[in-house]
Structure 1
Amino acid sequence: MTPRSIFVATSLALVVGLAACSAPATPEQLPFFEPGVEFTVNQVGTGCTADGAYRAKVSWDVPPSMSSKIEVQVGDDRSGVFARSNDATGSEETGDWVRDGTLFVMVDRDSKMVLAALKAGAGNCTAPAVETAGD
């Protein structure tokens, strides 16, 4: 083999390897749920921060026929991992950072298949701000 053909073969192997490790595409139609999968994002409490962010509870229920090894990714680039679980049913609370349109994607960690995807709705921001001691 010539040095050039070794370079081309190595480059091709690298590209194929990176493609295999990349996250599966987010479905175009949201919300998205594989059959039998339940996935919700609901505001906890009332009120929002000054910039409209709120605390939410992310809940999932995956049928026994699917893997229970899930990962919940957040954001349009899905670079943030919010939760990982080995339980088919569960929930986690966020901090005060969820906003209208925040993308949540639940992925099977073994197969990398998207099990569900949705965008959070607008928070109930009509409640008065929570007062702190000394106000």
Structure 2
Amino acid sequence: MKLQTLFISILLIACQSNDINPSDIIGKWGFTGLIQYQNSDGNWTAWRVNQTFLKEPPLIYQFTNDGIFLKNGYAGADCCNSGNKYRVANNEIIFSDFLACPTVKCGKPQNWIIIEIKNDTLILEKYSVRSKYVQIK
């Protein structure tokens, strides 16, 4: 009986989900300028400052309750990377309502992977680059 109880306990622990609660992403997130790159061996570099970020205005992403995505307070769609609308499923941000750019050739947009939301910090992975954001209250 003890063995059966132990087995069931292990199964319950193993089946716990690490999925992000979609409501956790709602709000404004400011880019810290910190990024990581994925090496060819699959490992990640140390966090480093994106020098381009230092020359640009601050980047603020906003995810609203009703599935609207904004960049710096404006519609978030661009030609290749993000849309005006989003939903969260399986730790990914899935965009829709993209900007039409007939003169730009893009591959299929990739979902953004939510690596972590913890203590007002958001880590997103986009195209093998991880970026760190802090929640703006």
Task: Tell me if TM exceeds 0.5.
Answer: no
- Larger Cα-atom Rg: 1
TM-score, reference length from structure 2: 0.32
TM-score, reference length from structure 1: 0.32
Q: More relative contact order in 1 or in 2 (CA 8 Å, sep 6+)? A: 1
| More strand by percentage | 2
